Every structure is written in C-alpha cells, then in structure tokens.
Amino acid sequence: MKISTRGRYGLRLLVDLAEHRNEGPVALSQVARRQELSEKYLQQVALMLTRGGFLTSVKGSGGGYQLKGNPEKIAIYDVLDLLEGTITFAETAPGQESAIERVIRLHFYQNLDQEVRKVFENISLAEVTRAEWFTYMI
Amino acid sequence: MKLSTKGRYSLQTMVYLATCKENCSIRSISEATGISSGYLEQLMIPLRRAKLVVAERGVQGGYRIARSGITCHDVLSASEGDFHPAPCQDCGRSEACKTHQIWSLLQNAVVDYSKQVYIEDLASHLVEQEVGGGI
C-alpha cells in the first residue's frame, strides 16, 4: 500500500498555500521553489484540487492559487480521498469473490479502512501546517 | 491504496492453511484460493523463511501453518517487507517537511491494527461458514 506521488505532492501544495494564505494568490513557481517540486507536476495537482473545491485560481499577472476554505475545516481525509481516488484497502466486492477473500475483506480490510479514516478525519490542514499533529503521535 | 497482490494472496493462503487440520498440498491450496500453483510456490518462500509455514516432504507431506498466534502483520511483513506508505525514508527534506509525519501516523495506524488481527480468528469465520480444508 502506497500513497501516490499525487497524494503526497498535493498535500504539500496545500500545506504551502495554507502557510502563505495571507499573501494573496501564490504562483506555483514559488511553491515549486520552496517545496523543491516540479512546477509542471504541481499544475496538474492544482487543477485537480481546484476542481475538487479546495483551491481557487486567479488568472492574470499577480495571479496564482489560493486556498478556498478555512484550513481549520479542511480534513486531511477529504484531501487524500480526492487525490488518491479513494483511500481504502478493501476492494469493492467483486462478483466472484471467494469465501476466503470475503472473510478477509469483512474482518480485516474494512476495519483497517476505519482506522485510516479515524486518523485522517481528525487532522485538519491547519493542524498539519502548525505541526500540531505531533501530539497524536504520543 | 491497496496491498500488493503478493501481500493479499499471502493472507489468503495463511487463512486457508489455518483451517486445515493436516498438511495441505499446493494443489489443494490452489483449488481453495484460485491462486496458481506456480505463484503459491513463490509465496511460500518468504513465509517459510519467516517460520510462518512448515513444509514436510513425503506422502503425507505438504504445507501447514507453523503455530498459533500469527497476526496479519506477521504475514504482511514476511511477504511485503516493512510497510511504508510514502518513500520518506530516503528523503533529505524530512526535517523540514510538515507532511512527513502524517505518513508515519498512517503507518502506525495500519501496523498497530494488523498486529491485532490473528490469522486463526479470520479462519474461524470461514469454519463457521463451513468452508476450508479442515471440514
């Protein structure tokens, strides 16, 4: 199980924009420099985050991207759910699922998904930005 | 976000073996799980090395689960290696990166839960349904 590059870079983009949200629209070239990520790749992720309702884009000179909502209210779960398609271990029950596959899905993967959901639903973008998630580790 | 085929098939194999009272041939595991015999032979190598399954030669030979108390985490670490949701361990920016610890949280949640789930408990759900080699 891996979080995709899109998920990882997208979250870094959001954290960077949350940190600089008082500066007006931020050009992706700045984010790319600060985060040492490819600007081209950030453009793709930014487009997806805009369509998903997390960012607004401002066109023209001085334009760029801004966070759309309040970072206190953005759950990391929702961000990753968009970027990853879905963050679940359980595969959607296929028609010819064997009895063994079914037992593992119902009694392991689905519970695992609940654990992952619990972790990410309770962390907001603002908490990541302030690095407050650290208290969850203890 | 999914486990590798190797990890998922290894779990299925172990759950099946836990339902069996006697040694299982690769063929019978293959029939129960739908995993090809050739692939099963591959899966058995790390499981044997981690002492999770025992192989016996001879007429009554085959594979059996090595002991009770094996968790999903034991199986997945044998077949997939350490679980890393993101390739942060090779990244030089991890000190400055605020998202880095997020992936550690995910890793901890998955590892902790996998350690709580026992293969024999999963197998007991199968036995209730009267499926599995032991019946």
Which domains are seen in chain B, by residue range?
5-128 (1.10.10.10)
| pLDDT: which is higher, A119 or B48 | B48
Tens digits of per-residue pLDDT, A49-74?
999 999 999 998 889 999 998 999 99
What string of pLDDT tens digits covers the 138 residues of chain A?
678 889 999 999 999 999 998 989 999 999 999 988 999 999 999 999 999 999 999 998 889 999 998 999 999 999 999 998 878 888 766 677 889 999 999 999 999 999 999 989 999 999 988 876 555 554
B105/A133 CB distance under 8 A: yes
* Max Cα-Cα span within chain A: 60
pLDDT at B55 over 50: yes
CA distance A118 to A114: 6
Q: Considering only CA atoms, which of A88, A91, A92 is closest in space to residue A80?
A: A88
Tens digits of per-residue pLDDT, B90-120?
777 666 677 888 888 888 899 999 999 999 9
B1/A129 CB distance under 8 A: no
CA distance B4 to A74: 30
User: Pick from A15, A87, A108: which is nearest to B98 by CB?
Assistant: A15
CA distance B95 to chain A (A): 12
Domain A5-137 class?
mainly alpha
B99/A8 CB distance under 8 A: yes
Question: How high is the pLDDT of residue B119?
Answer: 97
B16 contacts on A by Cβ (under 8 Å): 100
Question: How high is the pLDDT of residue A138?
Answer: 45
Domains of chain A, residue spans: 5-137
Given a contact cutoff of 8 angstroms between Cβ atoms, the answer to whether B91 and B97 are in contact is: yes
Chain B interface residues (partner A, CB cutoff 8 A): 1-4, 8, 11-12, 15-16, 32-34, 72, 83-87, 93, 97-99, 101-106, 108-110, 112-114, 117, 121-122, 125-126, 129, 131-132
Question: How high is the pLDDT of residue A133?
Answer: 54
pTM: 0.84
From A118, which residue of chain B is nearest by alpha-carbon distance? B109
Tens digits of per-residue pLDDT, B69-87?
999 999 999 998 877 777 7
